[in-house]
Each structure stands twice: as C-alpha cells, then as structure tokens.
Amino acid sequence: MRLTQAILLLAAGAAQAASSWSFDDASISVAAKKGSDAIKEKFSQKAPLTKPVGLGSTDTVKIILTAKEDGKAKRPHQAFVTIKEQETGLEAPFPLTVKDTGKAVVQISQKDLPVQFLLSPKPLKASVVIGSFGEARAVNPPVFDIEIQTDPNTLLPKYEAPIRYGKKPEIHHIFRPDPQSPPKVISLFFALAVAVTVPALFISWLLLGANLNHLTKALGAAPLSHITFFGSIVAMEGVFFMYYTSWNLFQILPVAGVVCIVTVLSGTKALGEVQSRRLAGER
C-alpha cells in the first residue's frame, strides 16, 4: 500500500516536472485617453521589460497575453497581474479576462490602483500569475515595473494609515522657564542707592538744626511712659520683622495687640508730656 503510494507520489512529481504553465505573445501598451499614439512593447516570461512603464493620470495600461499549458494555448483558472508596492509590500491583484483560446487581456489605469500606490516613491513591480488545477505548474514571473506619473496640476490623494494599536512617541513636558533676576550688580547698586537715603535724611535734618535736647527733660518728667512708648514702637517694627522671617498671621496678631495696648496706654502719658512742653512754649 505504502509502496504504491510512494510510486504514485513519484509519478505525480515526475508529471509535475514535465508540465507547466507559461504565456506567450505578451505585450503591454500605454494609451493616453485622448490621443491614440499608444506605446507598445513586447515582453515574455524570460525577458521582462528593463525600462519602467510610465503611467500618467489619464493613461491606461493594456496587457495582452496568451496563456499556454505545455506550449498549447489553454484557459487557466487563475490569470492575474499582481502589482506590488515595494516599500510596504502591499499587493493588488488584477484578474485578466481570459478566453477559451487562452487569450487574456486586462486594462489598468490610475484610478484602479490603491491610493498607496500613487504615493509610492519607487516604481511598482508587476508580475503575471498563471495557474490552474491539475498537475501543470503555476508560474509567477516578474514582468515589468510601473512608474506612476502624477499630474502636477491636480492634488495628490491623501492617504492616512489606519490606526493600529502600538507604542506611541514619547512626550516630555516642556516646562516654563524659571523667573529671572537682573544682574546682581544692578540690584546691589540700587539697593545701596536706597540705603544711602537714610544717612542723607539724617544729615539734612541735622543741618536744619534737629537735635535731641529735650530728651533729658522728657525723661525727667515721665521716664517710664517715654521709654515704654518709644520701646513699643520699636517692638512693633520687631513684630513686623518676625512676620517677615518666620511667624504667621495668627502668631503676630496677639503680640501686635499687646504692643498696641502698651502703645496707647504709654502714648497718652508720653504725648501728654509733649503737649505740656508745647503749652509751656518750649516747642
């Protein structure tokens, strides 16, 4: 049983080696829509066209061939011109219309091609597939290249690749630039210019005759209230300094309140003393 199978197999192999499909009388013609000056070139299974065939936007490529099985013209079941885009490997089959005599014909124009083909930077590769049932071998030889010539006056169709799940490009957030200060020299200069106004103020006061001559008199009249009044004003500035450096609002409010009460209480007495000096005509 097995032996007969093997023999059958061998016989089948031998038969297959013997018969195969082929094509003959193949030609390609490119015809523009208006004019009839078709460019016609012949090609065969073993001699593909070396020059690419140009296909303009209104042109039609017509491929004619005769399919043969073992040299006899016959109608194959499959007779396709397969056009392949080299970048993506995308293929489009164009079945030939075959007669009983094996004569096959197909017409291809730009609008029959998928959009990706029109945008292809490289020429398209065309091959002829001829095959059928039975033992005769099918063939698939490359036959010619097609160069798409797009009309510069018309817009190219747009092709958007369908969305596929996959990794996406990385995104890194671009941060706003940090705030910047002017050069330190300038800041220092103006800080000093501001600081210098204090001695300038004091000196101008002195020149206008400012003095502290009544200090002893005031301290002699009301020593405690003058010291606490002036001290509480200084302390208030201290409270503000603490607020600037470390304290928060709830820490300064009670302290400021206490200082204010002290200021009011001691101030009435101290300022009363100042008023008495004024009433005495000493000011």
Nearest distance in Å: CB 149, other proteins: 26
Q: To which residue do tokens 């201290």 refer?
A: 238
Nearest distance in Å: CB 154, other proteins: 26
35 vs 163 by CB, closer to other proteins: 163
151 vs 241 by CB, closer to other proteins: 241
57 vs 78 by CB, closer to other proteins: 78
Can you name the residues that pair with 31 across neighbouring β-strands?
60
Two structure tokens written together for 54 = 């140009």
Cα within 13 Å of Cα(188), Cβ side: 3
Nearest distance in Å: CB 146, other proteins: 17
DSSP secondary structure code for residue 137 in this structure:
B
37 vs 160 by CB, closer to other proteins: 160
| Under 8 Å between Cβ of 142 and 127 | yes
DSSP secondary structure code for residue 155 in this structure:
P
Q: At what angle do helices 223-245 and 249-279 cross, to 10 degrees?
A: 150
Nearest distance in Å: CB 259, other proteins: 15
* Amino acid sitting at position 262: V
Two structure tokens written together for 151 = 């009309």
Nearest distance in Å: CB 116, other proteins: 13
80 vs 144 by CB, closer to other proteins: 80
* Amino acid sitting at position 167: K
37 vs 194 by CB, closer to other proteins: 194
Report strand pairing: 21-31 vs 142-148: unpaired
Nearest distance in Å: CB 190, other proteins: 4
* Amino acid sitting at position 109: S
Q: Give all strands of the β-sheet with 78-84 in edge-to-edge order.
A: 53-55, 142-148, 124-131, 78-84, 91-95
